[in-house]
Each structure stands twice: as C-alpha cells, then as structure tokens.
Structure 1
Amino acid sequence: MAQEAPTNVSKPIPVGTASFEEKRAALLKAFDRKVPPEYHLRAEFLEDPPSDVSTIPANCGILNEEEIKITEEYDAVGLAKEIAEGKYKAVEVVTAFSKRAIIAHQLTGCLTQWFMVEALEQAKQLDIYLEKNKRPMGRLHGVPVSIKDHIPVAGTSSSLGYLSTIVEDESDCQMVQILRGAGAVFYCKTNQPQSLMHLESDSLWGRVLNPFNINLSAGGSTGGEAALIALMGSPLGVGTDIGGSIRCPAAFCGIYGYKPTSHILPMRGFLPTPVAAELNIPASTGPMCRSIRDIDLFMTTILEAKPYLLDPNLVPISWTGSRTPPNSHRLKIGVISNDGFIQPQPPVAKAISWARKLLSDPVHASQVEVKEFKPFGAADAWSKIRRMYWPDGGDLSKKAIVSTGEPLHSLTEWIWEEQQESGMQTAQAVNLLRKERDDFRHKFAKSWEEQDVDVVIGPAFVGPASAHDTAFYWTYTSLYNMVDYPGVVIPTPIRAISGEQYDQGYTPLSDACQDVKKLWGKSDFKGAPINLQLVARRYHDNELLSALSLLKNILGLAY
C-alpha cells in the first residue's frame, strides 16, 4: 500500500503504477515542504495515535492559549463580530486557523492544499482596510473559509479527486468571488473522493479519517471539510451535494451541513466539464459549519450579491432564513423511524427516539405537532438514482482515472459497477430516465401532502460514520436529491457505543437492510457522533430554516 506524507496519520489506499506513485509522491512532498517544522506534530501523536484524535489539536503544544480560544470559542458569526469591533486582527484569526488546520490535516488527511503565507497577506490587507475605512469590507471580513478541492480559487489548483484532472486556476469561480468580496480569507482546500461520487473521501491525496474514530470514514464527498470543521480547523466551509455529499460527512463528523434546493446558490465553474449525472439529478452547494446562524450568515452573504444576475440558471429567491415567520400556529413535523427499505443501526434509532421524546413533550404542544412519517418509494428511488448518476456507464471517468496509472479505489469501482454493464445510454434512454424521475417526484409530493407535514426529521445515514470502504447505502440522503428537497443535518448528543445491539424483534426490511446489519457487526463504531436530518419541500428553504430555528430550543441545538 502507498505511504502518505511523513507528517500524517494515515490509512492505506491502493497503489498505482511506478510512474503514478512517483508523481503522487512529488505532490505530497511539495505539500509537506510548506509546513514549518514547528507545526509538525510530535512522533508520539503520529506513530500510535488514539482512535479519537479530537483532543490533540488543543493539547499538542503548537497552539497558544489565545489561538485555542479563537478556534474553539467562536463560530463564523462570532469571529466576524470580534474582528469588526477590533478585538482581533484578521491576521491573528487567520494564523490561528491556519495552524489548527495543518494540525487537523496531520491527524486526518483532510487537506489537499494549505497556503498560510498567501492567506496572511490577504488578512493583512483586510486589517489595513478596516483601519483606514473604519468598517469591515463585508459580512465575512477576516473570517477564514475552507473550500472543497474541486471548487476553483485563484492561485490554487483544483481536481475531481484524481491526477489527470488537476488544473491550475487563474481566477475565482463566482461563489468564491462573492465570498472574497465579503472579506472571507482562503487558506486551505479540502480532500474529496476519487471521482467525487461516493461517500469516502479517499483520493490521490490520501484517505480522510474520522476525528472521533480514525477507523471510520469522515464521509464524502465533502469529507475533508467535515473533518477539518469538526477539529475546529475551520469555522465555515463550502461543500457540494448530489447524493448526500454535504449532509453525510457533516453527519459522520457531528457538525451542521445544509443542502439547499438546487439552482439557488451559484456553482458556475465548480467543474471543468459538465457532469452527465446532472442531466437528471441536480447538484447543490452549501455551507458546512458549527451553528444555525452560520448557515444564515452564509446564505445571506451569497444571496444578497444577487448571483442570478450573472447566472441565469439560478432562481432569484429572497433569503429570510431563521427569521421566516411560520405558516401556521403549529409546526407539523413528521418523524421517520425508517424509510421502509433500511432500518437504521442502533445509535441512529436511539437518536430518533431522543428527538421524538423531546418533540412530543406536552410543554411544546402549542408549537409542534408530531406525526409518524413514511417516505415514499425509498427502495425505488435508490435503484433509479444509481442509474441516473452514470448514463455513460462510468466509462469516461474510469478511462480518465487509469490513464495516468492511477489505481481505482474500491468505492469508485462500486458506484458504477451495475451501470458498466449497460454502457453508454442513448439520448432517448436518458430522456426516459427523466420521465421516471418526474413521475417519481409527483408521487413523492402527493404522499408528502397526504401525510400532511411541513417538515420531516429522521436519519441522515443508515448508521453513524461507516467503516472505511463500506459506505454502500445513501438512501436517507440521495432520496432528497432525487426529488430536489432541501435538507440540513443537525448534531445530537448521541454517540455510538461499543457493543450496541439491534432490537430483539428486528426483521430486515430488504436484502440491503440485512447487509447494513451485518456491517454493524463487523466494526467498532465507538465515539462516532450521530446527526439527524431535517427536510422541507422543494424551494421551501426559508421555511426549513424557520423550522430549524423553532427546534433549536426544543432540541438544544447550537444557535
């Protein structure tokens, strides 16, 4: 198995040809050379790390007391306020997060690029601006923002998670332009899967590990972001989601992640060429962060720039978010115990029971009406969406990966395995898939309406973070990509415990359900956080945040 840069805790990934491994080693060494020796973790932390590495950044001796405070005690909203009021300089904040990010990378492999020198120069100019103008440049003045690797940032490279796609970007994409104009500081880019299309962030840069149990995945495709934010190496990051790629890693790592309805936020330039999957399944972009109000901050910052004026594909909506008034005197919330296809693993079932108990407390009866909810067609949606992801049979991606001698990773092969037999679909076949999708969407909407709920709450994944190379079932997130409903994942106080058992009366709902139970018995998920997912109707994004704002006090969420 290939070896990672010497400063990293690592788990093995497949080995490619000698030529590929030489190029890969050069990239990793170039990264490692940027890290000052004083930011290298001591050997004791790297050679025999604990399964839970989440406490190491604050205790490794690299960060001073003030840097620990800056990175741990503030969300993005708080940081922006303190910088604007002069308590901290942007340079101080960027220094603290740059140092913590490189510590997080050594523990989890969460980064692909780290550019502290350039970030400090940007922060210095922001401090000069604030001193001269007596006001911040924008809502994110001086706030460090981490960016998923495939999203173009001027002066850095981007890729689809494999060698042949690495390009140098001379300009910012539209999203990054808006963030930069609001005063955000860019200091790192984060790891993602080979091909972007599965739930384990393992690429030529290495495998991202879960901070709370390094034997588990940090999720994908925005897994680097999730691990980095969980280790407090970033207050706010940008992810993308076409099957759960914001929500699953956020859930695996116990942070907030929000997938808006598609075509609200700008994605122009995110990928060098169009992706065939989006012929029928639209991707979304959104924030990953530490609090509900950071979601509001991100959405307000982007949407007040009126991105639809430059991108006519976008829907011009007004963002009211958490301030949106409720539609009625009581929020009708459906609780999902299972989707009729896969019964969630024990700690997820426990989290659902926790939420149901709090929501059903009579003290909240004037605010919330709780109902049982059964999602329509989960098994059918999973079958359909897997075909819709790969109308080319995955052949083009496979050829591009192996062209450099790069090995195929196991989940990369798995995701298009069934579709490879069909090969490249005809235009009419893809068109008929669109009819299947639209027919399904209508049936799903009818079922939602018949069950008479405003929002639903339920699993974000079939279990806690999956063991490495076993994230096979995304049914609880991909369903909402199929119907294009917005969803946000929220932390709970529940953590996985070693030895938890399924209920004695468990009966598998499907072969997939039985597989998920077997996977539970094969690994130890101790310490993995459990999130739940809150979902609203398509383009009811403001209503979703309104519901989340109401639930924050009932569920004790970080505001």
Structure 2
Amino acid sequence: MAPTEPPFCIQIKPMPEGSPEFEAKRTALLERFQAKVPPEYRLPQDLLANPPNDVSSIPATCGILSAEEVEITETFDAVGLAEAIASRKYTALAVTTAFLKRSIIAHQLTCCLTQWLVDEAIEQAKQLDDYLAQHRKPVGPLHGVPISIKDHIPIAGTFSSQGSLASIVKDEKDCQMTSILRKLGAVFYCKTNQPQALMHLESDSHWGRVLNPYNIQLSAGGSTGGEAALIALRGSVLGVGTDIGGSIRGPAAFCGIYGFKATSYTLPMDGFLAQPFAAELNVLCSTGPMCTSLRDMDMFMRVLADARPYLLDPRLVPIPWTGLQTSLPVGRRLKVGIINNDGFIEPQPPVKKAMAWATGLLSDPRHANIIQIKPFTPYGAATAWSKIQRFYWPDGGSLLKSSLVALGEPIQPLTEAIWKEAELAGMLTAEAVNAFRRERDEFRLTFARSWEEQDVDVVIGPAFVGPACAHDTALYWTYTSLYNLVDFPGVVVPTPLKVQAGEEYDAGYTPLSEACADVKRLWESGDFQGAPLALQVVARKYHDSELFGALAVLKDILGLP
C-alpha cells in the first residue's frame, strides 16, 4: 500500500494518490533518499508526528547542530561566508557540513529537498580547502559557499525533473549557470522541491508538499518553494530559482526572504530544462537569486555578469552590472509609485498593512529631498491575468496531461486550475500562437506607455494577493505574473511585519471583481497567523541595475538587511 506522506517528513495534508505502479516507484524514490540520512541527523518521531505550527526555531534548538554550526548557518550571509572562508575563519568543509546538516533538518520539517548531495559536497569542499592551503588564495568569489539549486536546473551527476516522476532525467554535465558557479567556487549540496509541471504557486511534486516554516498550514509558494523554505530555515544562504509567473517572488514573499526575477536573457539559462517549454513561445522565463540579504543579490548578479555568459549564449544581452552602485539621475528625486491595489484584486488585510507601513516610512518629510512618492495603478491587471493563463498552454495542457496519465501520476489541483481556461481551447494552431504574440506585444506597448504617463522610476506594491496562502489555494498570481507578461524585473524584499490575529477587511470593502471576492473568502476561511509579510519593487525592462540603485536608496529608509 502506498504511503500517504514521504518518510521522515512532516506532511499535514495528504497528496492525491496515483496508480499502484506510480506509488510503488514514488515510494522507492523516497526510501532511497531516506536511506542516505544517518540516524543522528533525524528529528524525533514524536516531533514529526505532532509538530507546532511554527517550526522556524527547531533547527537551532533541536541539538543536532553544534554551537559552531549554528553560528555558521545563522550569522552570515553569502558574502560574509565567502569572506570568513577566504580569511580561514572556517574551512569550506566545516561550512559545507553545517549546511548539509541544517538542510536535512529543514527537509524533515518542510519537505523542501529533492536531493541531498552529501558525498559530492564533502569532496568538493575538501578540494577547495586543499586549493586554498596550496595557493593561499580562493578559487573565486564564491569559494566554499554552499549554494542550493532548484530541482530542474542541471548539476553534473545528479537528476533533474519538471516536477513529475515522468520527467526525471540524469544530467551528465552542468548547465551554463551551475558551470559558472562551480568555477567561482560554489559548493553544490542539495536540490530543492518544486510543483508538478513547474506551473503553479505551491511546490507539490512527487517528492511531497513543501510547508511554510512559519505556519505549516500554509504554502511555501512555488515554483521555487523548496528554495524559499530552505533559506527561511537557514539551511541555505543563497539559492537559484526560476520565474515565469512569480516562481521566485511568490515563494520569497511567502517565506520572508529576498528574491530577484531579472529581465529575461540577462542571466544564463542554457540547459535549464531537458525539454522545450511551450509557454515560452510567448512568456519568457527568467532566473535569479534567492537569499537573505540585499548585498547577496547584488553579488550574485555581479559575479555572473563578470563571467560574461553572453560569449557562449548569444541570446543573452550583455548589459554591464552596476547594481547597488548605480547612481540616481542627477538633480532629481527618485520617483516611487505606490500600488495599493491593481484594479483587479484588493490585497488581503495584512498586505495592506505592509503597504501602509512602507508608505508611512517613505512619506516621512526627512526623505522629501531624495524621494517623491505618488499613487500608481498598473495597466490592465485583469486583462493580463486572462491573457497569460492562455499563453502558458498553447497545447491546452494536453502534452503534460498525457505524460502524467501515462505513468499513473495524480494531477494536482493547482495544475488543473492553471490550465483550465486554456484546456477549453485545446491545441492551438501556429497562426493562433502567432496572434497571441501580437496580443502580448500590444499589451506591452500600452503598459509601457501607461508607466511613462504615470512618471515613475520604480513601483512598490504587493507580491501576492495576501501573505502565504493555505495549501491548494494559490489561485491568483496577478501581482507577479503581470511583470512576466511585460518582462519587467522585480525584487521581493522582506518587512519586519507578520500576520497578527484579528486582522479584518475594512468595513467599506467592495470587491473589484469575482476573483477579488474569492480572495476575501479565502482570507476569512483560513488561519494565517505568523506568516511573514513582504513587498515587491519593480522597474522597467532592462533597468535591472537601476532597480538596485533604487533599492540602495530605499534600503535605510525601510530598514532592509
């Protein structure tokens, strides 16, 4: 009989069950993973059977990590770790061991991993320590820094998938991104969980469902939800995600960390997927860092730009990276647009609270000489949501559905939900896909003109309709997918705020749409206490460095780490 939850992982909501053949293969996969974990790294069964809602403090207090390992995993960001290893405060082996241990603790609490690369990581760390001892200098700016990688991104000698058992492949070589990171000294020690088909905001694959560390009744987001949960629990300081609808920014917001979706074709993605992704005929995927500090995002972008990946991939745009050092326009203030709602869905009460917090700080008269704030309404949010749901599935979802059915794999509720509208149209003709291209470009032109008319440099607004949502309810990604459609870069930044008990909609609330009313219903039927709150900052296409220049101005005002 198939298990209802993965071994030694908390799973508070059963996953849909597939055919007996599928469940047998899934069980064997999970058992192979579990067999790699030594008994001394395992959490007590009574804790896993009866966990608290908030598991965020358990890694540091469970007794599995030494005092030094707690210090290594909690005190530093990636920049600080690289400095500590280069100065020989810690060895790469000590740092790698600490994160290996903490990552497997995090996995037992949230089901955030798909692969735990113990032997490979230990060997890589030892080689780096030998190099430093022999040459008295690091191999590169990431020497010894453990970096977690989303499951579908290839690392030589490991497996990757697109969130289903049917899509698992063995990768014999690094993709361009992991090749560059390896040459810079990064240590690969785990891969992280994602959704079925990579196409919704809950990471619920054949490995299990990822839980939110601050309230396990809530989602960690998707599609890079395993990364977000792992980083929130400090089982990683720096990870690589992808984003075609909010897949970096949604999980970052749900788990209270940093996440950056770059403009497409500014970062290397060659080899990221074993099969072509039909959605990218009209909506381009992007990649970027997920981490614990603003300077880590900036460092990640700088070292990738310095590697000149465009020499090997002519699709990439060779834009110089100035990041946090980007100068503001001379002689004028930074113009910041404030999004209180997108005209389609009113955010849930805690997100409105977070926006009021940010607006209050930015409105302080002390900053009037450097910042001008003004209301901003993004053009066409409802239209964009309708369009992008169709653009994602030019085949009506038929190819994915047939591969899942062939293996007896159960179709997740959110997989069904995201292709529901496109499924009605079925497989499109080439002419219809081409017509979508025109629709997309006309929308982008109108969006850009609206942005220019409202005269802002960047906008600040919600990253999701609420905080982290209840499991299987991430139905509306309008606050992130809009910027995938127009291909604008966006950063999610954490706030010090969390959801408190008793937060309610305003008495005068009137729904902006049926979706808006449904979002209110979801809020009133759930318990979101303790969920982190985060905001999204967005700039124009290819203005990625200018976005970071704006963040350098906003950093001290908003108290960003």
TM over 0.5: yes
* Coarse TM-score class (shorter-chain normalised): over 0.9
Q: Deviations over 1:376-435 (max 9, x none)?
A: 000000001111000100000111112111110110111101111110001111111111
- Structure 1 residues 38-47 or 107-116, which shifts more? 38-47
The match for 2:206 is 204
- Contact 2:3–2:27 (Cα < 8 Å) also in 1: no
Letter in 1 for 2:207: W
Q: CA deviation at 1:2?
A: 4.2
Q: Deviations over 1:81-127 (max 9, x none)?
A: 00001100000000000000000000000000001121011000000
The match for 2:221 is 219
5 Å matches for 1:365-514? Answer: 365-514=368-517
Whole-Å separation in 1 of the counterparts to 2:322 and 2:381? 31
The answer to whether structure 1 residue 112 and structure 2 residue 101 are counterparts is: no
5 Å matches for 1:167-206? Answer: 167-206=169-208
The match for 2:40 is 38
Whole-Å separation in 2 of the counterparts to 1:387 and 1:16? 27
Q: Deviations over 1:357-393 (max 9, x none)?
A: 0000000011100100000000000001111000100
What secondary structure does 2:218 align onto? strand
The answer to whether structure 1 residue 15 and structure 2 residue 21 are counterparts is: no
Q: Deviations over 1:250-302 (max 9, x none)?
A: 00000000000000001111111211110110000000000010001111111
Whole-Å separation in 2 of the counterparts to 1:421 and 1:319? 44
The match for 2:325 is 323
Letter in 2 for 1:446: R
Structure 1 gap ranges (5+): none
Whole-Å separation in 2 of the counterparts to 1:226 and 1:137? 28
What secondary structure does 2:415 align onto? helix
One of 361, 364, 374 as aligned partner of 2:364? 361
Whole-Å separation in 1 of the counterparts to 2:392 and 2:439? 14
Q: Deviations over 1:473-496 (max 9, x none)?
A: 000000000000000000011111
Whole-Å separation in 1 of the counterparts to 2:559 and 2:472? 33
Whole-Å separation in 1 of the counterparts to 2:421 and 2:439? 18
Q: CA deviation at 1:37?
A: 0.5
- Contact 1:330–1:369 (Cα < 8 Å) also in 2: yes
- Contact 1:4–1:28 (Cα < 8 Å) also in 2: no
Whole-Å separation in 2 of the counterparts to 1:456 and 1:526? 27
What secondary structure does 1:456 align onto? strand
Q: Deviations over 1:51-91 (max 9, x none)?
A: 00000000100001000000000000000000001100000
Q: CA deviation at 1:470?
A: 0.2
Whole-Å separation in 2 of the counterparts to 1:401 and 1:268? 26
Letter in 1 for 2:5: E
- Structure 1 residues 507-516 or 497-506, which shifts more? 497-506
Give the length in aligned residue pairs: 558
Q: CA deviation at 1:42?
A: 1.1
- Contact 1:2–1:15 (Cα < 8 Å) also in 2: no
Whole-Å separation in 1 of the counterparts to 2:366 and 2:3? 57
- Contact 1:2–1:13 (Cα < 8 Å) also in 2: no
- Structure 1 residues 23-32 or 491-500, which shifts more? 491-500
What secondary structure does 2:542 align onto? coil
5 Å matches for 1:78-93? Answer: 78-93=80-95
The match for 2:349 is 346
Q: CA deviation at 1:342?
A: 0.2
Whole-Å separation in 2 of the counterparts to 1:515 and 1:387? 21
Root-mean-square deviation (CA, aligned residues, Å) is 0.8
Whole-Å separation in 1 of the counterparts to 2:236 and 2:434? 42
Q: Deviations over 1:311-338 (max 9, x none)?
A: 0110001111000111243100000000
Whole-Å separation in 1 of the counterparts to 2:302 and 2:541? 19
5 Å matches for 1:251-290? Answer: 251-290=253-292
Q: CA deviation at 1:8?
A: 0.9
- Contact 2:7–2:30 (Cα < 8 Å) also in 1: no
The match for 2:6 is 5
One of 291, 306, 309 as aligned partner of 1:307? 309
The match for 1:243 is 245
What secondary structure does 1:213 align onto? coil
Whole-Å separation in 1 of the counterparts to 2:90 and 2:188? 18
Q: CA deviation at 1:174?
A: 0.2
What secondary structure does 1:187 align onto? strand
Q: CA deviation at 1:6?
A: 2.7
Whole-Å separation in 1 of the counterparts to 2:268 and 2:552? 25
- Contact 2:228–2:255 (Cα < 8 Å) also in 1: yes
Letter in 2 for 1:4: E
Q: CA deviation at 1:44?
A: 3.0
- Contact 2:5–2:15 (Cα < 8 Å) also in 1: no
Letter in 2 for 1:429: A
Whole-Å separation in 2 of the counterparts to 1:302 and 1:59? 36
Q: CA deviation at 1:197?
A: 0.3
Structure 2 gap ranges (5+): none
Whole-Å separation in 2 of the counterparts to 1:214 and 1:403? 32
Whole-Å separation in 2 of the counterparts to 1:498 and 1:25? 39
The answer to whether structure 1 residue 232 and structure 2 residue 231 are counterparts is: no
Instruction: Report the TM-score, using the length of structure 1 for normalisation.
Output: 0.99
- Contact 2:169–2:274 (Cα < 8 Å) also in 1: no
Instruction: Report the TM-score, using the length of structure 2 for normalisation.
Output: 0.99
One of 156, 159, 162 as aligned partner of 2:161? 159
Whole-Å separation in 2 of the counterparts to 1:146 and 1:465? 22
Letter in 2 for 1:390: W
Letter in 2 for 1:273: Q
- Contact 1:143–1:185 (Cα < 8 Å) also in 2: yes
Q: CA deviation at 1:5?
A: 3.1
Letter in 1 for 2:466: G
